[in-house]
Amino acid sequence: MKKILVANRAEIAQRVIRSAKKMGIKTVAVYSDADRNAPHVKLADEAICLGPAPSNQSYLLGEKIIEEALKLGVDGIHPGYGFLSENAGFAKQVTDAGITFIGPSPHSIEIMGSKLAAKDAVKAYDIPMVPGIDKAITDVALAKSIGKEIGYPILIKASAGGGGKGMRVVEKEDELESQMTRAISEATSAFGDGSVFIEKYVTGPRHIEIQVLADNHGNTVHLFERECSIQRRHQKVVEEAPSAVLTPALREEMGNAAVRVAQSCNYQGAGTVEFLLDDQHNFYFLEMNTRLQVEHPVSELITGIDLVEQQIKVARNEELSFKQEDLSIKGHALELRVYAEDPMNNFLPSIGNLETYKLPVGNGIRVDDGYEEGMDIPIYYDPMIAKLITYGNNREEAIDLMKKAIADYKIKGLETTLPFGDFVCNHDAFISGNFDTHFVKNYFSKEIFEEQQNGGRELAAKAALHFYLQKKDQLRTINNEQSSWSSRLS
Ligand code: MV4
C-alpha cells in the first residue's frame, strides 16, 4: 500500500494520516468547502475538494470519493468513523474498484449493522445475551406473553437502531401496546425498517466494550476493555481503560467472548464489541461496531499498540505480529471528549470561533484534535473539537493529570465540555469507580455544576440531597426488579 485516501475530516483524519506517514505511506485528504483550511488538509500530501459543506454533498459522496481516488492512484481508503465507515455498500464499491477498504468485509459490516442478524450470527458461539427474544415482533399478544416470562421492565429495541434510537422502556404490561406501536413507527421512519425485538431492561448497567483486532489469517485477539458509562443521550463524554471494576477473570471471560463475536462474522481488522455489565457483574452482548472508534486512544495507551497501523497492516494482508499472551495492560488512560457544547445549557451546541486555543502539554498528555486557533467550528458536523487523553501509572494518576490538563487547555470564543470533564474528575462516584450509565442523569445538574464553578459552599449539601433522592429512587427500582425478575437472581 503506497497511497491512502482518508475519507473523513478533523481529528480522525489527522490521526489516520499520522500513522500512514509513520509507515512511509502517502496520503490524500478530502474536504468540503467548510474545511478548506482545516489542518487535516494541510497535513496530507494531496487533497481533494468534495463539494459544499453539508455531508450529503461532500463526505458522504462515496462514488465521487472512489472516482477521485482512482484518478490519484490511491490503493487504500480509510473511512475513519461516522460518515461511510459502516456502509457495507461503500466498502463493496471500494473493493470492486480495485482499492483496498481499510476495514472489515461488507459481509461483517452488514451482519453487525443489524442487531437481529448479529444475535443470529453469534448464536452458536456461546455469547451471553440479555434475556429476551431474537426475532422481530409485531404481535402484541405474543409480546405480552414474553413480557410475563422475562418480567418488567422490558426494553423494546429497533433492529436497525443505533445510539438509542427506536428504544422504549416498558414498565408494565398496560403500556406495552402503545410503546410497541411507537417503537415500530419510530424505527420505520428513522431506519426504513420497523423490525423491533424485546429484551429484559437492565436498569443500572455499565457500558463496557472490548477492542478486537483480527487478521486475514485466522488470528483474532482482544485489546482489553474500555469503560464508556459516562455518557449523555447516548453520546459518550468520558472513557477509560482499563475499567475500574473488572477482575482479571472477568476481563478474560469478556475478552474471549468478544473474540468469539468477531469470529462469528469472520471479522477482519479493528472492531469493538459492546457489552452491558449489570450490578451483579453479569455481562451481556449488545452489538459490534465495525469501525475504529472515537475512544480507541485509551486502548492504544494501555497496550502500546497503534491501532491505525494495525488496521493498515491487516488490510495489507499481513499476519498480526503478536498473540493474545503477548498483550498486557500497562497503566491507566482517560479520554475526555471536548465538544463545542455548553454544559450549563443542556449541552446545546455552542457555535463560534476558537479565539483562543492553547493545548495542554506534558508527559502523559495526548490531544487528538482537528482545529487550530482562529478557526470556526462548522455547524454541519459533529461538534467534537478534540479528545483530551491522559495516561498515568494508575487510575489516580490519570485522573490527576486530566484535571491538570483541563486547567491548562485554554479555549475562548465558545463553550466546551472541558468544565464538565473537571466535574466528572472531581466527583466521588467517578473517583470511587462506582458509577453506571446513569451517572450524568443521577449526579449532574446545572445547579450543582453552577455551585461548583462558583466554588459555592452549599454544594456539598445540595449534592448530598440530590444523591439521596436519586438513591431512594434506585432502591425502589431494584426492589421492583427483584420481585418481578426472580430468574436472574438465581
Ligand atoms: C440496553 C439497556 C438496558 N437493557 N439493553 C443503548 C444504546 C444501545 N446500543 C443499547 N443501549 C442500551 N441497551 C437492555 N436490555 C440500556 C442501554 C443504554 C445504554 C447502553 C450503553 C451505554 C449507554 C446507555 C444509555 C442508556 C441506555
pLDDT tens sequence across 288-345: 999 999 999 999 999 999 999 999 999 999 999 999 999 999 999 999 999 999 999 9
**Residue 304, burial from CB neighbour count under 10 angstroms (0-12, 13-18, 19+):** exposed
With a cut of 70, say whether residue 169 has pLDDT above it: yes
- Do 342 and 300 touch, CB atoms closer than 8 A? no
pLDDT digits over 76-90, tens only?
999 999 999 999 999
Closest CA to 252 of 355, 161, 150, 324: 324
- Who has greater pLDDT, 119 or 484? 119
Which residue is closest in CA terms to ligand 1's atom 12?
164
442-464 mean pLDDT: 77
Catalytic positions, written as ranges:
291
Asked if pLDDT for residue 482 goes beyond 90, the answer is no
Helices first, then strands: H and E counts in the chain? 18, 20
Residue 472 reports pLDDT greater than 80: no
Residue 438: pLDDT above 60? yes
- Nearest Cα neighbor of 205 from 283, 320, 123, 261 is 283
Ligand 1 mean position, distance from CA 164 (Å) = 7
Per-residue pLDDT for 467 more than 90? no
Predicted confidence (pLDDT) at residue 477 exceeds the cutoff of 60: no
Give the fold, CATH level 3, of 206-443: D-amino Acid Aminotransferase; Chain A, domain 1 (3.30.470)
Cα gap 268→212, rounded to integer Å? 9
Best mutation site among 229, 276, 438 for ligand 1 pocket (most ligand atoms within 8 Å of CB): 276
Q: Confidence class of residue 456 from pLDDT cuts 50, 70 and 90?
A: low
- State the burial class of residue 432 (Cβ atoms within 10 Å of its Cβ: 0-12, 13-18, 19+): exposed
- Stretch(es) of the chain classified as CATH 3.40.50.20: 3-102
Of the candidates 152, 155, 108, 148, the one whose C-alpha atom is nearest the C-alpha of residue 129 is 155
Q: Which of 8, 485, 441, 469 is nearest to 230 (CA)?
A: 441
pTM, 2 dp: 0.92
358-370 pLDDT tens trace? 999 999 999 999 9
- Please report the pLDDT score of residue 480 as a whole number: 35
C-alpha cell at 420: 464538565
Per-residue burial over 238-259, b = 16 or more CB atoms within 10 Å of its CB, e = otherwise: bbbbbbebbeeebbeebbebbb
The kind and range of the H/E element at 280 are: none
Mean pLDDT of the chain: 93
Task: Evaluate if residue 141 carries a pLDDT over 50.
Answer: yes
* Cis peptide, bond prior to residue 419, ω within 30 of zero: no
What pLDDT band is residue 490 in, cutting at 50, 70 and 90?
A: very low
- Range(s) for CATH 3.30.1490.20 in the chain? 131-200
Whole-number percent of the chain with pLDDT over 90: 87
**The predicted structure's pLDDT at residue 458:** 58
Task: Cell numbers for 306, please give them.
Answer: 497503534
* Helices 248-264 and 115-122, axial angle in degrees (round to 10): 100
Over 70: is that where the pLDDT of 69 sits?
yes
CATH domain 3-102 topology: Rossmann fold (3.40.50)
Q: How far, in Å, from the CA of 170 to the mean position of ligand 1?
A: 14
d(CA 44, CA 101): 19
Mutate to test the pocket of ligand 1, among 207, 273, 436, 438 (most ligand atoms within 8 A of CB): 207
Work out which ligand 1 atom sits closest to the CA atom of 228: 22
Give residue 460's pLDDT.
65
- For residue 236, the Cα-to-chain-centroid distance in whole angstroms is 6
Residue from 234, 282, 284, 485 whose mutation best tests the ligand 1 pocket (most atoms within 8 A of CB): 234
Does the pLDDT value for residue 137 go beyond 90?
yes
Place of cell 475478552: 255
Residue 41 to residue 49: CA distance in whole angstroms: 10
Residue 165 above 90 pLDDT?
A: no
pLDDT at position 235: 95
- Which fold does the domain 131-200 belong to in CATH? Dna Ligase; domain 1 (3.30.1490)
Q: Where in the chain is the domain with CATH 3.30.470.20?
A: 206-443
The widest CA-to-CA distance across the chain, in whole angstroms, is 65
In which residue are the cell numbers 490519484 written?
72
Beta strands 332-339; 235-241: pairing state: antiparallel
Q: Which residue ranges have their beta carbon within 6 Å of ligand 1? A: 130, 155, 164, 199-202, 205, 207, 231, 234, 276, 286-287, 437
How many whole angstroms from 38 Cα to the centroid of ligand 1? 35
Distance from Cα 124 to the centre of ligand 1, integer Å: 24
> Are 170 and 152 in contact, with CB atoms under 8 Å apart?
yes
Whether 208 contacts 277, CB under 8 Å: yes
